Amino acid sequence: MYRSHAKLFDRIRRGFVEDRARVVIQSCMRRFIVLSRLQNVTQAAYSMQKFAQAKLLRVYVSNLHAATLTIQAWWRGNRVRRILQEEKLKLVLAGHLMRAEKQTLQECQQAVVLLRERELRGRLKKSWQLVHVNVSVERDDVYPKGWAAGIRTVESFNPGADLSHVELGAFHTVVATSSGYVYTYGLNDRGQLSIGASSTSGLPVPVQPISGILFPTKIVQVSCGVDHTLLLDADGRVFAWGSNQHGQCGCAPRQEIVPQATEVYFAPVRGAVNPMLKRTISTLSAGAYHNAAIDDKGRVYMWGRGDHIYIRGVFSDVPLPLWITHESIVDIGPLDRVVCGLGFTYLLAKDGALYVFGQAINGQLGLGSKHRRSRIAVPIENIDERVTSISCGVHTTLAVTPSGTVYQWGVFLLWDPQSQVCVKAQSFVPMPVDLRRGGITGVAVDVKVGWWEGVILTSDGLLWAWNFFDQPSDGIFRPAVYQYILAEGQCVRAVHVVSSPLFSAVFSKLEGDKTAEKARGAAAAPSAIRTRPSVNPNWDPMAYN
């Protein structure tokens, strides 16, 4: 059978071989064609690439040039706009400064008029005399007729009386007279003026005595917070009015505003036989949103915003006076004075030791940069002597010792000779102030703080002040001191400074002629007590803002 089909099988075998050859030939031809076409495409791509590169490069350069011109135009325009904005801001600030200086001049002119009027009435040495007013921000929205005009109005209501107390809140003024009347003027949006609940509009000048108190009454002390006021009379009673958002009035816990003067009642002493026994307050102080008072037994009461009281055991607002029984306060002993600031409280003991508690990130605790808050009363150990007087403001604190050494801590202004402007600086511990410069001959006996000002009264009856310090070259901070010039022969026996965001004002009480001569003679004589410009080695380095 194979033989019969051998020829067929041979033909099939030859067909397979021929087909394989055809496939190989076709594959070679296809490969050749593909390679040929690929070579043609590559050559075409190379040719197109040269053309496209030149074309795209021209487009790119053109777009880049246009973008550069656009950016340059925007930068020039933005720079011009920025320069214009800066110049506009400078002009606006210069305008505000000029208006503030003009208002300062107007207030000082009013002070001169007040001085002459009192001199004509023969009451020059019995009342607080307005020495100087420094307006930092325009005060027309609050005192459109001028701030000193309100004091003149009070004196016109009481021609035979003296100014016994003048205090400032943020935007309201409280004036008390020796005849036993209290007047207010300024804003009244939070009941600061104690003129009743029927009115929330402010008063440019006083109109009548405040409501809520039976006048006349002898006023012992007046103290203002931001939007509230405390008043202490000769009977040891405390009255409060104004904002009560955090319980800072110490009465009417459910009211956010106390529209008229209301008596503050203090909690009965634990263990007292008569729980209604009346507490007699001897001194008090209003902070920004909290208060403190000391009764005739030396007990300390506090009320107001809880995180400003910041004593151990107090974690929320205190709407009524709370007797503070923490051992860190009780163990201090007899207290002479309490001073409240913005979130902190100073306690000055009768032996001159100074204690502090609360919180202050600006260094006003005076305990060092690592201790910016304390829930217990801590002694300030960086002052080597006992403290005779202390005054604290929004930014800084001043204290003076019997030797006349003045200490300052907190935030203050430091003159930068390169930029020719003042910059803010901080000291977290009390630093001694060198008072030898500027011609100061007397020994500092009292200190007061304004908004930025530090004011001192010296033993020769002169008033000195500074707003900023020069850069220290030897570790000693020397203030740029200036003197408040008084009339010839006048000698100051007391100084009082009030301040607000709008302005600061300096008051003085004058000595009699014989007392003035004696004071000047004592200051001119050699004395063993001199100011000490020594530097405390435990200072923290200055931290600039």
DSSP assignment of 5-28 equals: HHHHHHHHHHHHHHHHHHHHHHHH
Structure-token pair, residue 459:
């033993």
Task: With beta carbons less than 8 A apart as the criterion, state whether 485 and 429 touch.
Answer: no
Closest by CA to 210, choosing from 252, 173, 161, 254, is 173
**What is the reported pLDDT for 531?**
32
| Rounded Cα–Cα distance for residues 47 and 40 (Å) | 11
Starting at the edge strand found earlier in the chain, the sheet holding 344-349 runs 335-340, 344-349, 354-359, 373-379
233, amino acid identity: D
Q: Which residue has the tokens 């001119």?
A: 524
Whether 476 is covered by a domain: the verdict is: yes
Residue 390 belongs to domain spanning = 384-545
Number of separate helices (H) and strands (E) present in the chain:
5, 27
Task: Examine residue 237 and state whether it is found in any structural domain, yes or no.
Answer: no
User: What are the phi and psi torsion angles at 108 (to 5°)?
Assistant: -65, -35
- pLDDT tens, residue order, the chain (545 aa): 556 677 777 777 777 777 788 888 888 888 888 888 888 888 887 777 777 777 777 777 788 888 888 888 888 777 777 887 777 777 777 788 888 899 999 999 999 898 888 888 777 777 899 999 999 988 888 999 999 999 999 998 988 888 999 999 999 999 999 999 999 999 999 999 998 876 777 899 898 999 989 889 999 999 999 999 999 999 999 999 999 999 999 998 889 999 999 999 987 655 444 445 567 899 999 999 999 999 999 999 999 999 999 999 888 999 999 999 999 999 999 999 999 999 999 999 999 999 999 999 889 999 988 888 899 999 998 898 999 999 999 999 999 999 999 999 999 998 888 877 888 988 999 999 888 876 788 899 999 999 999 999 999 999 999 999 887 766 667 899 999 988 777 889 999 999 999 999 999 998 765 444 444 444 433 333 333 333 333 333 333 33
Residue 255 token pair: 């009211």
Token pair, residue 42, equals 């590559």
Q: Is residue 263 part of a domain?
A: no
d(CA 427, CA 382): 12
Res 474: pLDDT? 65
203: left (phi over 0), alpha (psi -120 to 50) or beta: beta
Question: Which positions ≥6 away from 400 have C-beta within 8 Å?
Answer: 387, 388, 389, 390, 406, 407, 444, 445, 446, 447, 456
Q: Distance (Å, rounded) from C-alpha 369 to C-alpha 172? A: 34
How many Cβ atoms are within 10 Å of 461's Cβ, its own excluded? 24
Backbone angle region of 197, left / alpha / beta, with phi > 0 → left and psi within -120 to 50 → alpha: alpha
Query: Does residue 509 fall inside a structural domain?
Result: yes
Backbone phi, psi, residue 451, to 5°: -70, -50
Task: State the pLDDT at residue 327.
Answer: 93
CA 210 – CA 224 distance, rounded (Å)? 15
289 within 8 A of 267, measured Cβ to Cβ: no
pLDDT at 526 (0 to 100): 32
Supply angle C-alpha 98, 104, 110, rounded to 5. 140
Q: How far apart are CA 325 and CA 298, in angstroms?
A: 11
Helix orientation angle between 147-157 and 2-121, rounded to the nearest 10 degrees: 40
360 Cβ contact partners less than 8 Å away, ≥ 6 residues apart = 341, 342, 343, 344, 372, 373, 410
Q: SS3 of 185, please?
A: strand
Distance CA 136, CA 499 (A): 10
How far is 450 from 397, CA to CA, in rounded Å?
Answer: 10
Other beta carbons less than 10 A from residue 10's beta carbon: 10
User: Coil, helix or strand for 113?
Assistant: helix
Residue 349 lies in a domain: no
Single pTM value for the model: 0.78
- Residues comprising the chain, all counted: 545
Confirm whether 514 is domain-assigned. yes
Q: Are 412 and 469 in contact (CB under 8 A)?
A: yes
Instruction: Give the number of domains in the chain.
Output: 1
Among residues 241, 246, 240, 290, the alpha carbon closest in space to that of 265 is found at: 240
In a domain, 467, yes or no: yes
Token pair 């009699």 is at which residue?
512
Structure tokens that stand for 539 in this block: 């200072």
* Domain assignment of residue 374, yes or no: no
